[in-house]
Amino acid sequence: MHIVLLGAGVVGAETAYYLAQDGQAVTVVERGIAPALGCCYADAGLANGFTASPWPAPGIPTTVLKNFCRDDTPYRVRLRPDPAMAVWIARF
């Protein structure tokens, strides 16, 4: 069987590597000019000190609440009337 993978990002490259190690014929198709220029590029894969902190750590809930509406935070909540979001937050 010949396997064609779309995308040469982290997941595509790793999948191709392990499939080839398993003896499969693999072709990776990448639309960019080089691998890892999509989701893998820049801060999409960034792990920084704040987001790596455990959620129940002291001070994290306060920091998260203060930063919910900022544009430059790694997470953002756009506050609007949304019953489904309210149910999800309550369950979370």
- State the pLDDT at residue 45: 47
Q: How far is CA 12 from the centre of its chain?
A: 14
- State the pLDDT at residue 14: 92
* Residue 43, amino acid: D
| C-alpha pair distances (Å), 37 with each of 10, 11, 41, 45 | 10, 12, 5, 11
Domain coordinates in residue numbering, the chain:
1-46, 47-92
- State the pLDDT at residue 88: 86
**Residue-wise pLDDT tens for the chain (92 aa)?**
899 999 998 889 999 999 999 999 999 999 888 888 876 655 444 455 555 666 677 887 787 777 777 777 766 666 778 898 888 888 88
Cβ-proximal residues to 25 (8 Å cutoff; 6+ apart), any chain: 1, 2, 3
Task: Determine if the pTM surpasses 0.75.
Answer: no
